[in-house]
Structure 1
Amino acid sequence: MTAPAEPTGTDTTAATAGPANPLIAPTAAGHRRVLTGDRPTGPLHLGHYFGTLRNRVQLQSQGLELMIVVADYQVITDRDRPDRLAERAENLVLDYLAAGVDPGRATIFTHSAVPALNQLLLPFLSLVSVAELSRNPTVKDEIAHSRQSAVSGLMFTYPVHQAADLLFCKADLVPVGQDQLPHLEVARTVARRFNDRYGTLFPEPQALLSDAPLLLGTDAGKMSKSRGNAISLGADGDETARMLRGAVTDPDRHIAYDPEHRPGVSNLLLLTALCQDRDPHQVAEEIGAGGAAALKRTATEAVNEYFRPLRARRAELAADRTLLREVLHTGNARANEIANRTLAEVRTAMGTF
């Protein structure tokens, strides 16, 4: 599932919540199709990898059908104009493949290339009220942080666009962060009301919440492409070292994992632990009184070692842009087949031509 806000480590996938909330799937078992995606607004970074990409590969390995939307149309929800969309869309595909997404088993497609998907927006808009959209807390937050001088109709109706993204392929499992649950509830409402009014056609998709730890940026703030505080997947060893040398820590030489009181230090410990499949407290104990310099050196070595294979694959794939376009071409064709079939079913159910 995509969002106007920067995608972070909160948008995918391993379940953590129990079955008390029927919106949240406690496990992937019994589900068939997953939809997730990203907006092509810039390069993906380490937060995306540990929060989303790695988990997408795991879902794929569990046998679920993976649909990944490169949400190019959605770039203009909070921006006045798109920038280098085609190039950025290809770069997203590059990051997906380098991270291990198998295009032979996953459908990777661009939003703008699937007309029937977007045509579903009209009947879906008739199923929700303006008051319901106005109350959506995620929409309120996105409007508050919008880069536009005024709220567009596209921004206001964004949850219904996401409903179309999910329901066109009848996805029944959606990796999201906690902040995206209100959007998903709109999609479930649309599905339920359509089924009640016209006959059962759509599943009510469930959320799959992430237990992935949230990585901060090198400034100890929210990791974001636009804030210059994120290490991209395409960064080389030298760039990684430079970014981590400039990471915010604190004056205390004794290294300890304390996210609340020492966010910068704890973030580097967490990053190191994720790369080494260890507990951040254990990493902290080993560094001890070594101070920030030792911590940054350890983090740099861990990141560069962990991402060395991914970076090698990425460099190899980047040399053949034709392959990236072929992946999108194949994915777009597959997505169109699904969307055209769903739109035909909707027309039949509604009694239209």
Structure 2
Amino acid sequence: MAKKIILTGDRPTGRLHLGHYVGSLRRRVELQNSGEFDRIFIMIADAQALTDNADNPEKVRQNVIEVALDYLSAGLDPARSTLFIQSQVPELCELAFYYMNLVTVQRLQRNPTVKAEIQLRGFSENAVEGDTAQRAGIPVGFFTYPISQASDITAFKATTVPAGDDQEPMVEQTREIVHKFNSVYGPTLVEPEILLPDNAACMRLPGTDGKAKMSKSLGNCIYLSDTADEVKKKVMGMYTDPDHLRVEDPGKVEGNTVFTYLDAFCRPEHMAKYLPDYASLDELKAHYRRGGLGDVKVKRLLIAVLNETLDPIRARRKEFEGRIEEVYRILEEGSAAARATAAATLDEVRRAMRINYFDDTELIEQQAKAYANR
């Protein structure tokens, strides 16, 4: 039976927030604890972060430990998941270099995730459609990061990539690269499948301001490491229904950020514990829709739910913050293990591409005989 392997990770551009948690991190912990997978690789993608932070490497350097602390505090266990730093596995760069010959510039330009990320980071939109992306200010490394991501996934022969729906085009591009490589050089690489959140509200959690995506750059995040008071302050300022001006007014649930967060985090036992007057979240929504329910009451429920969720994460983070040397040891050992796996895949790739010159004794012997007989 083929092995089931997970590869996923995050760019270390800051602390992880609730969008990361419901979009992938919570699911990673569940999958890790399920025992369903043979190997789980969790990557801190520092090299990828440098593609648009080249002028601020210290930011990336400092945030590596922040992400590692968030991983461990959320429940990732180094005994069951391999936690590693991308830049410490140089084999990934070599794989990406070979894959670049299998992807056209035009294909990268059509990648919806690339387009969205270019716009989010303020690069010129002309770079997406123009002939020379470099002239418009887009670093080549950033433009080609779908290829880098393909090398990350295939190096570990990942069968499954837990991610949000915004990453579907990236995984599809990886599948195309795998198909092209295997067609040209023979069956070597594994085609991955994306594993999306099973809760629609978790697909892409909006920011506290109601924007489509929670983003550090927009300042609309609730972080896993936020204190209870910080969570309370952010929730009380959260975007709701702008037309729900009085308690008695009917309110809209759709597009109401508070209810979106409740859909992502609230469980039946939370209703029984914090708002026992309502049999379910659906009953609370119905009351809000017909009027007579104020935003403050709903926000207080969300504050209680979020702080109950984050309390054990905060506690574990505090423990690991006092053991930083151990955290770096975990990352060092994980990086060594990840490198060994990636090196084995790279060896197979070189053999398939017939560039393993010094290992191919048959080639050397044949050519030695051929030149000896001239």
TM bucket normalised to smaller: 0.7 to 0.9
Give the gaps of 5 or more residues in structure 1: 1-28
Q: Does 1:282 align with 2:283?
A: yes
Q: Does 1:323 align with 2:326?
A: yes
Change (3 A) 1:347 1:112: same
Equivalent residue in structure 1 for 2:181, among 170, 189, 194? 194
Equivalent runs, 1:198-347 vs 2, <5 Å? 198-212=185-199, 213-214=201-202, 215-221=205-211, 222-249=213-240, 250=242, 251-253=245-247, 258-260=252-254, 262-270=255-263, 273=266, 280-284=281-285, 289-347=292-350
Q: Distance in 2 between matches of 1:195 and 1:42?
A: 37
SS at match of 2:174: helix
Q: Distance in 2 between matches of 1:272 and 1:347?
A: 46
SS at match of 2:339: helix
2:311 maps to a residue whose letter is R
SS at match of 2:266: helix
Change (3 A) 1:145 1:308: closer
Identity over aligned pairs, percent: 39
2:114 maps to a residue whose letter is V
Partner of 1:91 in structure 2?
Answer: 66
Q: Distance in 1 between matches of 2:233 and 2:67?
A: 24
2:260 maps to a residue whose letter is N
Q: Distance in 2 between matches of 1:256 and 1:305?
A: 29
Q: Distance in 2 between matches of 1:51 and 1:37?
A: 12
Equivalent runs, 1:141-156 vs 2, <5 Å? 141-148=116-123, 150-156=137-143
Q: Distance in 1 between matches of 2:249 and 2:27?
A: 30
Q: Distance in 2 between matches of 1:265 and 1:141?
A: 25
Partner of 2:95 in structure 1?
Answer: 120
1:306 maps to a residue whose letter is T
2:305 maps to a residue whose letter is A
2:115 maps to a residue whose letter is K
Q: Distance in 2 between matches of 1:93 and 1:284?
A: 37
CA contact (8 A) 1:181 1:207 kept: yes
**Structural RMSD (CA):** 2.5
Give the gaps of 5 or more residues in structure 2: 124-135, 272-279, 357-374
CA contact (8 A) 2:231 2:303 kept: yes
Change (3 A) 1:245 1:333: same
TM-score calculated relative to the size of structure 1: 0.84
Q: Distance in 2 between matches of 1:253 and 1:197?
A: 65
CA contact (8 A) 2:270 2:305 kept: no
Higher helix share: 2
CA contact (8 A) 1:269 1:284 kept: no
Q: Distance in 2 between matches of 1:254 and 1:264?
A: 20
CA contact (8 A) 1:79 1:146 kept: no
CA shift for structure 1 position 348: 1.6
